[in-house]
Each structure stands twice: as structure tokens, then as C-alpha cells.
């Protein structure tokens, strides 16, 4: 009985994942996105078994928000060469574990955090890929680097040998169009002014607005609900 329902669940998961990939392919083709935009599966609150199922179905990139939860899944899935992205808020006392266990960190917003990640990245690992999270709607309550502090933070990050600045990330307000357009303009401007060869990632768009984000230049969508269903 448990066996049957487990299979039913993993079949539904693969079906939903396939549907999201098809939506992504359609947009990649429509807007001729080069290189093709990446799907990040946001697996917070989901069990390791779901991640393993999707990995077998070809999904290589997973995003996690909560460090303790992520570390447990990583140890359970250590046999799979998954690319792990940290997308949660970074507390100063958590940087060592983040620098040690993740491949990407999408939520860098302060120089002190960037310096700690650099200092704590193990020497035997390649540089940590980082995105600067921008507070694009300039909200007091939201995380992210303010636009007027962006250049300073970029200068710090590109001086750090164990970090590679790969791009920008945003979590916009309800309707993202204006934020998507402004972030894409910032992205192009930074790439031109700082002449960064590997600055290639614009992480914006989630389950509810992935098409809209991709239409405005996103190169990575972070999708949870549309793949895994509603979270509790």
C-alpha cells in the first residue's frame, strides 16, 4: 500500500516537473534565450526522496532556504552530484556551513557576509558562485542590497579570490514587471562597466511569474510550488 502511494506521488512529481520544463523550453525558444535559462528546483520543506526522484529525472540544480534542513538532505544525498544553491537569508554565524556545503549562494547582500564566505570557503573547493540579492523595490522590511550601495559591494566581491560573482537575484513585490525591467538594466550596466567575464546569471521569477521574468531577461527561475505542490 505504501509502495503504491509512493509511486503515485513520485509519478505526479515527475509529471509536474516535466510540465514546468516544457513551459521553460517554450519560453527559451520564443525569446531565443542564450544560453538557455536554468531551472532551479526549490526544494525547501520537501524530503530527500523527492529530490532524488527529480535528480533521476534530470534535474541537477536545487535551492534550499533553511540551513539545518539543507545539511540533513545533503548528507542523505551525498552520493548524488547535485548542484546546491543557498537562497535563504544569511545569518552571520551560518556562513561557515554555507561556504562549505553549497555551490552557489544567491542571497549575498552585505560585504561582511561576502568576506566571511570567502574566508571560510575550503581551499580544496572551487570558488563559490555568488549572486547579489538586490532590494529592487527599496522596501525597509525586505532583504537585499540597496541600489546605491551596489557598486561598493561588487568591488568587494570581485576582490575576493574564493568567490565568483555570477550575477544578480531579486524577489520582487507581487507584480514584478517593473522590477524585472529595472533589474535587467542594472545587470547589463554592471556587466559592461565591470567587464566581468562570468557575470551571466539573472535569477528572477518563481512559480507565479516565471514566464514574465523570462520575457524580461531572467536566466534562472526558482520554482517550488509548480513542481512540488503547495507547501504546508
Ligand X SMILES: *Cc1c(COP(=O)(O)O)cnc(C)c1O
Q: Which of residues 162 and 212 has its CB atom nearest to ligand X in the complex?
A: 212
Report, in Å, the least distance between residue 50 CB and ligand X.
Answer: 14
Angle at which helix 150-158 crosses helix 111-120, to 10 degrees, equals 10
Report, in Å, the least distance between residue 134 CB and ligand X.
Answer: 13
Q: Which of residues 160 and 179 has its CB atom nearest to ligand X in the complex?
A: 179
Report, in Å, the least distance between residue 200 CB and ligand X.
Answer: 19
Instruction: Please state, in angstroms and rounded to a whole number, the distance separating the CA atoms of residues 129 and 170.
Output: 16
Q: Which of residues 160 and 226 has its CB atom nearest to ligand X in the complex?
A: 226
C-alpha cell at 99: 561556504
Q: Which of residues 122 and 229 has its CB atom nearest to ligand X in the complex?
A: 229
Distances (CA, A) of 162 to 72, 156, 166, 179: 25, 12, 13, 30
Report, in Å, the least distance between residue 7 CB and ligand X.
Answer: 24
Report, in Å, the least distance between residue 65 CB and ligand X.
Answer: 5
Instruction: Please state, in angstroms and rounded to a whole number, the distance separating the CA atoms of residues 120 and 122.
Output: 6
Q: What sections of the chain are H helices per DSSP?
A: 2-31, 48-56, 67-76, 95-101, 111-120, 150-158, 177-194, 210-215, 225-228
Q: Which of residues 67 and 226 has its CB atom nearest to ligand X in the complex?
A: 226
Report, in Å, the least distance between residue 153 CB and ligand X.
Answer: 19
Nearest alpha carbon to residue 222 among 195, 209, 208, 204: 204
At which residue does the C-alpha cell 542564450 appear?
Answer: 34
Residues that bind ligand X (CB under 6 A): 42, 44, 65, 87, 171, 206-208, 222-226
At which residue does the C-alpha cell 556562513 appear?
Answer: 95
Q: Which of residues 160 and 171 has its CB atom nearest to ligand X in the complex?
A: 171
**Residue closest to ligand X, measured at CB:** 224
Amino acid at each position: 500500500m505504501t509502495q503504491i502511494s509512493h509511486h503515485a506521488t513520485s509519478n505526479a512529481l515527475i509529471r509536474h516537473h516535466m510540465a514546468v520544463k516544457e513551459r521553460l523550453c517554450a519560453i527559451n525558444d520564443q525569446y531565443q534565450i542564450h544560453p538557455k535559462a536554468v531551472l532551479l528546483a526549490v526544494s525547501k520543506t520537501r524530503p530527500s526522496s523527492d529530490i532524488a526522484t527529480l535528480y533521476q529525472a534530470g534535474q541537477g540544480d536545487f535551492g534550499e532556504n533553511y540551513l539545518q534542513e539543507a545539511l540533513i538532505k545533503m548528507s542523505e544525498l551525498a552520493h548524488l552530484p547535485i548542484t546546491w544553491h543557498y537562497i535563504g537569508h544569511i545569518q552571520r554565524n551560518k556562513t561557515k556551513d554555507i561556504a562549505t556545503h553549497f555551490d552557489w549562494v544567491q542571497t549575498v547582500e552585505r560585504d561582511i557576509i561576502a568576506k566571511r564566505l570567502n574566508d571560510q570557503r575550503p581551499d580544496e573547493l572551487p570558488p563559490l558562485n555568488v549572486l547579489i540579492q538586490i532590494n529592487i523595490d527599496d522596501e525597509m522590511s525586505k532583504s537585499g542590497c540597496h541600489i546605491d550601495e551596489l557598486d561598493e559591494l561588487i568591488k568587494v566581491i570581485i576582490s575576493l579570490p574564493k568567490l565568483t560573482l555570477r550575477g544578480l537575484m531579486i524577489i520582487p513585490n507581487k507584480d514584478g514587471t517593473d522590477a524585472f525591467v529595472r533589474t535587467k538594466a542594472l545587470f547589463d550596466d554592471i556587466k559592461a562597466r565591470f567587464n566581468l567575464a562570468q557575470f551571466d546569471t539573472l535569477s528572477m521569477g518563481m512559480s507565479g511569474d516565471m514566464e514574465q521574468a523570462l520575457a524580461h531577461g531572467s536566466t534562472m527561475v526558482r520554482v517550488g510550488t509548480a513542481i512540488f505542490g503547495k507547501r504546508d
